[in-house]
A and B are shown apart, each in its own frame.
Chain A
């Protein structure tokens, strides 16, 4: 029954026009960035490297597909949560608003199975978005700009990663980014269980992300104790894969916190959904 319901969720997601907005938005946004970098990327790179030119000599093409993909990821990974929430925030509340949840729950499938099927479908949709982002950023980026060593500027300084050392880092980075977005998907589905309108959970998800991001960014002591436990703090952990040496402990800590959020949110959603009276 669970997999039948998962299949149903796929049918519904693929039939909704809004599901393609995310893919379209990624295509357009990445396209704009690629165009801008193609036209004026070299001057941007020159601006960044100018401060190092007294001590370092750069050889080869710095503006290559690997750097382009990194720039795209850095710019877009903050905005993708909205595209995720746009679809996943509607999975339960949209059905409550349209009345179809009532029809579904008069069938013998358990409420837990029905909800889990929505979480699974939301996860698959999120995976599709991240894969599409990967294709557009890494593959199209390399096709347009060629490959080469990756130069990353982080808080510790400049890191140069060799061309053959980059692909596995992207795989790891995308995997962590997926888990971060999966937390967003889980959050929006959980909120969706508490609402009977489509827009509320989407807006609330984004509001929570913005609030947590502000708390994470503000250098105020009172937030120091909670900052490490906010999922938004770990949404940028994909960048850790581009550090040398690899901060394995930090990455694992981020994964644990993201997974803990997911388990907690799924548990809360299942508990509430099973208790909920369907009066719509």
Chain B
């Protein structure tokens, strides 16, 4: 197992009588793109703010880079870059001045050239001297990324970094995160509501709900452990439905239309079912696995509600 970058144990935080976080536990390893998932009000932002010492936890322990956050705050934050929800800047200052302000207190010596190079990297070189007041949301988000990366942090914490971005902006952020991990070996903790995006880039994840950890682990393992939902596009759905019911006792029909069947089944049975249907003369136009992170996420939340 590689080096632990973040260790959170029994984190809890109460605001008045409201328990924002009750018992959050997770571990992020070096090189992870770690998905931090949960519905609104689950305690994601509070947990992330605790990681950045914006909020003081009532109980629990946070270790980052193997050191206690409580006693090594400055050292840890010098190696961490972050965007919390939306990056806010001094609107009356230029993009360059804003980055200069944050770099001066980042604990690193960042030169003018490095700031200019970073602005170029996020595609804002031409707007370097423009006041941030005139920037679009996407430009501010890119400036936020520049601010996050300027001091070459080892750990990057991004809380909803794609909020309000257009599709191209979302793709850019996704590619950037993957580049940071693959080319520079950065560790990324990523909170997002875009589960499809998360599925594409996160290798590990935790799901929290009502301030508690529900599940944590490798994304691929967690999803593979689940039963598949398979959608078939087929020419004679009604006949196929009957044939499946008669011959595959371990396959459960979820829904059907004139040309579609939705089935719950094990991954291992998909090939055999496909082969049998073709041999019986059915024309199959598409087989799509609907086992997505979104389904898993909703299933976990429903299970939590039942408990």
> Residues on A close to B: CB < 8 A?
1, 4-5, 7-8, 11-12, 15-17, 98-100, 102-110, 114, 275, 277-279
Verify B104–A5 contact, CB threshold 8 A. yes
Contact for A107 among B56, B75, B106, CB less than 8 A: B106
Verify A98–B54 contact, CB threshold 8 A. no
Closest to A114 in B: B105
Residue B284 lies at the interface, judged by CB distance under 8 Å to chain A: no
Complex-state Cα separation, A12 to B101, whole angstroms: 9
Verify B88–A103 contact, CB threshold 8 A. yes
Chain B contacts with A in 62-103, Cβ cutoff 8 A: 73-78, 80, 82, 84, 86-93, 97, 100-102
| Contact digits for B27-68, partner A, Cβ 8 Å, 1 yes 0 no | 000000000000000000000010011111000000000000
Contact for A106 among B54, B91, B92, B97, CB less than 8 A: B54
User: Which of B54, B73, B86, B106 has its CB near the most chain A CB atoms (within 10 A)?
Assistant: B54
What is the CB-to-nearest-CB distance from B125 to chain A, in angstroms, rounded to a whole number? 21
Which residues of chain B have C-beta atoms less than 8 A from A4's C-beta? Answer: 104-105
Residue B213 lies at the interface, judged by CB distance under 8 Å to chain A: no
Complex-state Cα separation, A159 to B3, whole angstroms: 79
User: Which of A4, A17, A107 has its CB near the most chain B CB atoms (within 10 A)?
Assistant: A107
Residue B191 lies at the interface, judged by CB distance under 8 Å to chain A: no
Complex-state Cα separation, A4 to B93, whole angstroms: 17
Closest to B94 in A: A15
Verify B101–A11 contact, CB threshold 8 A. yes
Closest to A2 in B: B105
Contact for B102 among A17, A99, A107, A114, CB less than 8 A: A107
Verify B104–A15 contact, CB threshold 8 A. no
| Contact digits for B196-229, partner A, Cβ 8 Å, 1 yes 0 no | 0000000000000000000000000000000000
Verify A108–B92 contact, CB threshold 8 A. no
What is the CB-to-nearest-CB distance from A146 to chain B, in angstroms, rounded to a whole number? 43
Residue B187 lies at the interface, judged by CB distance under 8 Å to chain A: no
How many residues on B have C-beta within 8 angstroms of the other chain's C-beta atoms? 33
Given contacts A11-B101, A106-B82, A106-B84, contact A279 B89 (CB under 8 A): no
What is the CB-to-nearest-CB distance from A98 to chain B, in angstroms, rounded to a whole number? 6
Verify A108–B88 contact, CB threshold 8 A. no
Verify A278–B80 contact, CB threshold 8 A. no
Complex-state Cα separation, A98 to B52, whole angstroms: 19
Given contacts A102-B54, A103-B102, A106-B84, contact A15 B92 (CB under 8 A): yes
Verify A278–B104 contact, CB threshold 8 A. no
Verify A107–B88 contact, CB threshold 8 A. no
Residue B164 lies at the interface, judged by CB distance under 8 Å to chain A: no
Verify B90–A12 contact, CB threshold 8 A. yes
A sample of 24 inter-chain contacts (CB < 8 A) reads A4-B105, A5-B104, A7-B104, A11-B97, A11-B100, A12-B93, A12-B101, A15-B90, A15-B92, A17-B92, A98-B91, A99-B88, A100-B89, A103-B102, A103-B147, A104-B102, A104-B105, A106-B54, A106-B82, A107-B102, A107-B107, A108-B105, A277-B15, A279-B49
Which residues of chain A have C-beta atoms less than 8 A from B76's C-beta? Answer: 108
Complex-state Cα separation, A210 to B87, whole angstroms: 39
Contact for A278 among B49, B78, B87, B106, CB less than 8 A: B49
Contact for B56 among A5, A11, A277, CB less than 8 A: A277
Verify A100–B88 contact, CB threshold 8 A. yes
Complex-state Cα separation, A99 to B295, whole angstroms: 35
Verify B55–A102 contact, CB threshold 8 A. no
Verify B82–A277 contact, CB threshold 8 A. no
Which residues of chain B have C-beta atoms less than 8 A from A16's C-beta? Answer: 92
What is the CB-to-nearest-CB distance from A204 to chain B, in angstroms, rounded to a whole number? 24
Q: Kindly list 7 other residue pairs between chains A and B, CB separation below 8 angstroms, not including A15-B92, A277-B55.
A: A7-B104, A11-B100, A98-B90, A98-B91, A104-B102, A114-B105, A279-B49
Verify A98–B55 contact, CB threshold 8 A. no
Which residues of chain B have C-beta atoms less than 8 A from A5's C-beta? Answer: 104-105
Which residues of chain A have C-beta atoms less than 8 A from B147's C-beta? Answer: 103
Closest to A94 in B: B90
Which residues of chain B have C-beta atoms less than 8 A from A104's C-beta? Answer: 102, 105
